[in-house]
Amino acid sequence: MKSSNDNHKAVYMDYAATSPVDPVVLEKMIPYYQVKFGNATSRNHKFGWEAEEAVETAREHVAKLINASAKEIIFTSGATESNNLALQGVVNMYKQKGNHIITCVNEHKAVLDPANYLGTLGYDITFLPVDGQGMIDLAQLADAITPKTILISLMAVNNETGNIYPTAEIGKLAKEKGILFHTDATQAVGKIEIDVDKMGIDLLSLSAHKMYGPKGEGALYVRRKNPRVRLGAVQHGGGHERGMRSGTLNVPGIVGLGEACRLCHTRFKEDFQYISKLRKMLLDGLTKEVDMMVVNSHPEKCVPNILNISFEYIEGESLMMGIDLIAVSSGSACTSASLEPSYVLKNAGLGDELAHSSIRFSFGRFTTLDDVQFTIDSMKRVVKKLREMSPLYELVKEGVDLSTISWSAH
Ligand SMILES: Cc1ncc(COP(=O)(O)O)c(C=O)c1O
């Protein structure tokens, strides 16, 4: 099915997968590719000093956004690496203390897979379930803690639904029990307020490309006081990043991440208000124009930039093809290569069909009101057309209870 409005430019509604680099960020990065190209660990000449200074300024910007101190920031290649370093680094350092880690079934694969890997090495991993709204139960978390628990790893915001987890409460519980708390805050930093002190966070992963910075750059916050967290390195080499992550620093990438963080900090209120307005417009517009939708994002505890909705009696792939001028995700971008329905939604109790027909709309600083209106109009048109081909939808519209129908051929 082709779009009726093929002249319209493509509209990007997939910011949670990745965001464009802010021009201000790009401008800051460019000199570090050619003019100021030094190696930040070259201690004996100007080129090295210049690069090192830029890296340290970036470290301060990253720290400021999450209320940390610059020395607590370790640069990595992105949140996948940060998560791996957090989980494996804690295990490497604290395995004498215990062998138990608590995480959740709805984490991103970049936590689930390292956790499963540690499981194959003999570590005991608890995957907490989620309720019908995709949220964890704090009482269940408390019950899961044993004297052998060395780490709790729970994300701050879910990448598919945008749901905000009770990070401060988790941090408080972890502190009371003397257990380290890691949070994958890839979808949270720059979107909602994150304060590692107030929230009792010991380790935090973030990624530049989700916040208008470059791809392939990220950071891990590692607490230095109360308690001082130590990690056993995963990648060994020249002893960069206080020995926790060896490898020549990606100076332009780090400069980009720093500038992206500085912008998110200075523009926080403005971005939050504008993006909240876009979300309200999209949700109100779709609610008005399209019936039989299930909103999978939590009604209140959700970031402003993500809206996840299932459209009943519609096949997800046909929907995606129908709205081919609009870039969205069905489930997580990282797993959408497979046709498996989203595990995040299924774990929250959604059936295969609704999980399959889910769309994650995500938007950002550069999304316009026109983009949102075009999305609403396109969804209205395509959903209507697909439903006209759905006998189930017709039956439901006529008031038939589908559960009473016997489908078998006699
Ligand atoms: C919650 C979450 N964690 C981790 C990642 C991986 O981040 P990166 O692409 O920086 O490795 C993503 C990206 O999709 C994510 O959404």
Please give the torsion angle defined by the CA atoms of residues 100, 104, 110 and 111, in that order, rounded to the nearest 10 degrees. -20
C-alpha to C-alpha distance for 93 and 202, rounded to whole angstroms: 14
Q: How many CB atoms lie within 10 A of CB 93?
A: 16
Closest atom of ligand 1 to CA, residue 207: 10
Topology match between the domains 11-16+268-386 and 23-266: no
Question: Among 261, 264, 302, 334, which one carries the catalytic annotation?
Answer: 334
C-alpha to C-alpha distance for 59 and 72, rounded to whole angstroms: 9
Cα 397 to ligand 1 centre (Å):
40
- HSE-up of residue 240 (Cα within 13 Å, Cβ side): 20
Determine if ligand 1 sits within 6 Å of the CB of residue 389: no
Q: Which pLDDT belongs to residue 338?
A: 60
Rounded to an integer, the average pLDDT of 291-314 is 95
Determine if ligand 1 sits within 6 Å of the CB of residue 357: no
Task: For residue 389, name the pLDDT band (cuts at 50, 70, 90).
Answer: confident
Looking up tokens 């990065």 gives 29
Closest atom of ligand 1 to CA, residue 16: 16
C-alpha to C-alpha distance for 337 and 83, rounded to whole angstroms: 22
Q: Which pLDDT belongs to residue 5?
A: 60
pLDDT in tens, 325-335: 999 998 533 44
Ligand 1, atom 11: closest residue by C-alpha = 80
C-alpha to C-alpha distance for 288 and 348, rounded to whole angstroms: 26
pLDDT(80) > 50 = yes
Cα 19 to ligand 1 centre (Å):
12
pTM of the model: 0.94
Cα 157 to ligand 1 centre (Å):
11
pLDDT(73) > 90 = yes
Mutate to test the pocket of ligand 1, among 108, 112, 167, 203 (most ligand atoms within 8 A of CB): 108
CATH topology of domain 11-16+268-386: Aspartate Aminotransferase, domain 1 (3.90.1150)
Closest atom of ligand 1 to CA, residue 81: 11
Cα 392 to ligand 1 centre (Å):
37
Rounded to an integer, the average pLDDT of 147-152 is 98
Rounded to an integer, the average pLDDT of 250-274 is 98
Determine if ligand 1 sits within 6 Å of the CB of residue 264: no
Determine if ligand 1 sits within 6 Å of the CB of residue 186: yes
pLDDT(232) > 90 = yes
Strands 73-76 and 218-222: antiparallel
Cα 179 to ligand 1 centre (Å):
24
pLDDT(407) > 70 = no
Residue-range domain boundaries for the chain: 11-16+268-386, 23-266
Q: Which pLDDT belongs to residue 393?
A: 76
Q: How many CB atoms lie within 10 A of CB 391?
A: 8
Q: Which pLDDT belongs to residue 332?
A: 37
Determine if ligand 1 sits within 6 Å of the CB of residue 188: no
Q: Is 334 a catalytic residue?
A: yes
Q: Which pLDDT belongs to residue 337?
A: 55
Ligand 1, atom 4: closest residue by C-alpha = 79
281 exposure class (CB count in 10 Å sphere: 0-12, 13-18, 19+): middle
Determine if ligand 1 sits within 6 Å of the CB of residue 82: no
As its CATH architecture, domain 23-266 has 3-Layer(aba) Sandwich (3.40)
C-alpha to C-alpha distance for 192 and 275, rounded to whole angstroms: 12
Task: For residue 89, name the pLDDT band (cuts at 50, 70, 90).
Answer: very high
Cα 124 to ligand 1 centre (Å):
24
For the chain, give the number of residues.
Answer: 410
Rounded to an integer, the average pLDDT of 84-102 is 97
Q: Which pLDDT belongs to residue 334?
A: 40
Mutate to test the pocket of ligand 1, among 161, 164, 187 (most ligand atoms within 8 A of CB): 187
C-alpha to C-alpha distance for 128 and 126, rounded to whole angstroms: 6
Determine if ligand 1 sits within 6 Å of the CB of residue 108: yes
Task: For residue 391, name the pLDDT band (cuts at 50, 70, 90).
Answer: confident
